[in-house]
Homo-oligomer: A and B are copies of this chain.
Amino acid sequence: MTVAQVDQFDRKIMALLQNDGRLTNNDLSDRVNLSPSQCSRRRQRLEEEGFIRGYRAVLDRDRLGFSLVNVISVTLATHNRDNAQRFADLLSRLPEVQEAHALTGEMDYILKVVTPDLKSLSEFVNGVLLPHESVQHVKTAIVLETLKETGSLPL
């Protein structure tokens, strides 16, 4: 029901599109040994069935003024469902939050947050996150260097 419905051609197509989402069906056809029309049909199917969830342009953070990346650990005030929902609602309204994961272990959540500078980071943490009713405690770490950052799956 999941992995069985994609064959080696589909995997190859997805692997290529992961690296360059603007490849044309002609491009795919060259590298996959299938006609352009077949690549088109397969791509459409993969999109419709949700294996390909969408296409995104990747922008340069630094050059667009978001030089600071931060990893923020969050502990919630109480651990009931309502409070978790309030926290989820808060996150969905905060565009500087790029990722938010609920974790096993000591910390409840880990966030990846981008800001232009330390001032706006401080405003975000002390002005938005900490004051929120759902949040008890946060711990902020600044990213010194990003060694790797890819959304690619190891197909």
Report A's interface with B, CB cutoff 8 A. 2-3, 6, 14, 17-22, 50-66, 69, 71, 88, 91-92, 95-105, 107, 109-110, 114, 139, 141-155
Contact = CB atoms under 8 A, between A and B. Distances in A.
B101 A147 contact: yes
Tallying the copies of this chain within the complex gives 2
A57 B21 contact: yes
A58 B71 CA distance: 23
Contacts of A145: 101-102
A60 B65 contact: no
B101 A71 contact: yes
B100 A148 contact: yes
Nearest to A107: B141
A3 to B, nearest CB: 5
Nearest to A114: B153
Contacts of A98: 148-152
A114 B50 CA distance: 19
B64 A58 contact: no
Contact of A148 (B51, B59, B99): B99
Given A102-B143, A104-B144, A144-B103, A52 B58 contact: yes
Given A53-B59, A107-B141, 9 more contacts: A3-B65, A14-B59, A14-B64, A55-B56, A98-B148, A98-B149, A98-B151, A99-B149, A103-B143
